[in-house]
Amino acid sequence: MLIKGEKKYKGIYILKCENISMEQTILHLFKKNLEKLHIAQNILICNNETSIEEMQSFFYRAILYDYNTLFVIEVLESFSNFQHNKMYSYINKLLN
């Protein structure tokens, strides 16, 4: 599941999906960058039922991963402010 090309990509990118569905956008991202369909462990769909442990586990795996691959987080409208704050807290902790 490596990103195609020789350039090594590293970072976090934010994309707001307005004109097409998020599922189509995610599919397009994987086809464009990996030339493959995604696997379940590379996507986290966040809603009001997403546990703090699920987020933490996903971010540890995505941010600390040694290889040049793509991880996607889909945040649905039902995701609470508390969950948003926890998500940003984990990201900041791992990036420092």
Q: Kindly report, residue by residue over 59-78, the tens digit of the pLDDT.
A: 888 888 777 777 888 888 88
Full-model pTM = 0.72
Report how far residue 43's alpha carbon sits from residue 19's, in angstroms, rounded to the nearest whole number. 21
The whole-number pLDDT of residue 67 equals 73
Report how far residue 12's alpha carbon sits from residue 52's, in angstroms, rounded to the nearest whole number. 20
pLDDT tens-digit profile of 12-52?
Answer: 667 777 777 888 888 888 788 767 676 677 888 899 999 99
Report how far residue 96's alpha carbon sits from residue 85's, in angstroms, rounded to the nearest whole number. 17
Q: Would you say residue 12 lies in a domain?
A: no
Q: Would you say residue 53 lies in a domain?
A: yes
Q: CB within 8 A of 18, min separation 6: which ones? A: none
Q: Would you say residue 75 lies in a domain?
A: yes
Q: Would you say residue 54 lies in a domain?
A: yes
Please compute, for residue 49, the number of CA atoms within 13 A of its CA located in the half-sphere on the CB side.
1
**What tokens were used for 4?**
């195609």
Domain enclosing residue 87, as ranges:
22-95
Q: Would you say residue 10 lies in a domain?
A: no
Query: How many domains is the chain built from?
Result: 1
